[in-house]
């Protein structure tokens, strides 16, 4: 796609008028009228406070909001930070409002931001979600400072989260990224990232923007693309990320399909890199860690257990094509057992996840169908985690997740052999 198809004529004109910038901060949006003005003010305050001598551009890349989101940003006083706003309509002022171009989705919004950063020859770029309620000006110092002051290329977020929040990250994404790619990036799909201008341009150059990356796979794609490239990676502690937390058993099935599909595709494409990695190592941390108050997450354990039991029964023939015999038998025993003994242990969960990655790679089922059959097993693991972690402190939670990750790392050699031979993990 040509640059004129990626950026509208008005966006190109304003970018050329600005000429050059040190920093670009992007906020992708779609109907985020309730929160985006706060995010824009926080970004502007952070840029003015922490980078007063830098030329900064704030980009709102909008997906055609119908709730006045772009207008709210256009009306927001951003002080000394220069502002570029993107959506459909054009206004003849120093703020431009136009939509991003391409496939509807967060990835296409990011692509627009990356292109603008490249056109402006920016040294650093950050992207943050438009629905944040806990964002502060300090976030932008933490996301951009390691790039501008320490020459890092990729800054992943590090949040404090409720022990029942982020279960897809804790049970699947973080353990797989850590075990396969060898780096302990705690929040690989956090949504809020900092990056060098070099990495932003690298993202823009990739041939992925006509795929699902343009829709919902952008976060894990950014993280793994940075890991397999010649880029310096770190993470920054941002405190709490407050959002509309949901019951994992009621709301996360579609997200599970989207996230695991995006991750499994990256694993498949990047085998030459991760197949050579042994063990894992931490990445540098920035920011001062402190205790924060966290919003409660309500969970319905009985509903999750019921979904697990029904899934094991209804998908028995499909699971027989995906899971090893011992793994499937263990799931069937758990499904038939009493509630008080319900526990899906880490070793069993590791085998389940690795078997699904292998089944995806060898196309034993249609990808979407395969990933949806993972949902009951994931909810069984989540129900088990809720019971296990009921009395855990924050430190206990991290210790348990670390042990799960070590189990993934220990079984990686067996997984790699099974991956190459097209069989299940013993």
Domains of the chain: 3-286 (3.90.550.10), 301-420 (no CATH)
Angle between helices 394-410 and 412-421 (to 10 degrees): 50
At residue 24, the pLDDT reads 94
Q: How far apart are CA 194 and CA 200, in angstroms?
A: 9
Q: Is 162 helix (H, G, I), strand (E, B) or coil?
A: coil
- pLDDT tens-digit series, residues 370-381: 999 999 999 999
- pLDDT tens-digit series, residues 163-217: 898 899 999 999 999 999 999 999 999 999 999 999 999 999 999 898 888 888 8
Angle between helices 367-388 and 325-336 (to 10 degrees): 50
What pTM did the predictor assign?
A: 0.92
Residues 57, 82 contacting (CB under 8 angstroms): yes
- pLDDT tens-digit series, residues 281-297: 999 999 988 776 666 77
At residue 81, the pLDDT reads 52
Residues 232, 152 contacting (CB under 8 angstroms): yes
């Amino acid at each position: 796609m040509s640059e004129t198809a990626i950026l509208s004529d008005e966006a190109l004109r304003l970018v050329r008028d600005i000429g050059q910038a040190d920093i670009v901060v992007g906020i992708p949006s779609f109907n985020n009228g309730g929160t985006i003005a706060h995010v824009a003010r926080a970004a502007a305050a952070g840029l003015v406070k922490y980078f007063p001598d830098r030329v900064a551009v704030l980009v709102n890349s909008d997906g055609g909001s119908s709730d006045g989101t772009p207008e709210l940003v256009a009306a927001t006083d951003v002080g000394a930070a220069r502002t570029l706003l993107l959506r459909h309509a054009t206004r003849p002022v120093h703020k431009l409002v136009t939509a991003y171009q391409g496939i509807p989705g967060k990835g296409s919004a990011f692509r627009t931001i990356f292109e603008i950063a490249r056109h402006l020859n920016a040294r650093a770029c950050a992207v943050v979600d438009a629905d944040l309620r806990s964002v502060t000006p300090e976030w932008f110092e933490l996301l951009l400072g390691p790039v501008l002051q320490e020459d890092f290329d990729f800054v992943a977020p590090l949040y404090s989260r409720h022990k029942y929040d982020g279960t897809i990250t804790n049970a699947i994404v973080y353990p797989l990224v850590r075990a396969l790619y060898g780096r302990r990036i705690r929040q690989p799909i956090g949504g809020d990232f900092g990056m060098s201008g070099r990495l932003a341009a690298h993202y823009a150059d990739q041939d992925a923007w006509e795929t699902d990356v343009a829709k919902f796979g952008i976060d894990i794609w950014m993280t793994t693309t940075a890991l397999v490239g010649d880029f310096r990676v770190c993470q920054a502690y941002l405190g709490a990320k407050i959002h509309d937390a949901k019951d994992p058993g009621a709301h996360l099935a579609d997200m599970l399909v989207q996230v695991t599909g995006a991750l499994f595709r990256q694993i498949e494409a990047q085998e030459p890199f991760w197949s050579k990695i042994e063990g894992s190592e931490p990445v540098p941390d920035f920011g001062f860690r402190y205790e924060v108050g966290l919003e409660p997450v309500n969970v319905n354990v009985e509903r999750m257990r019921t979904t697990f039991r029904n899934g094991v029964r209804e998908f028995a023939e499909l699971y027989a094509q995906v899971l090893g015999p011992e793994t499937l038998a263990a799931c069937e025993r758990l499904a038939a057992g009493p509630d008080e003994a319900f526990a899906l242990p880490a070793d069993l969960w590791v085998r389940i996840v690795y078997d699904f990655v292998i089944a995806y790679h060898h196309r034993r089922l249609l990808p979407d169908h395969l990933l949806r059959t993972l949902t009951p097993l994931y909810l069984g693991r989540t129900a088990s985690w809720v019971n296990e972690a009921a009395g855990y402190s924050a430190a206990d939670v991290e210790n348990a997740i670390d042990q799960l990750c070590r189990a993934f790392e220990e079984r990686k050699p067996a997984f790699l052999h099974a991956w190459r031979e097209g069989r299940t993990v013993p």
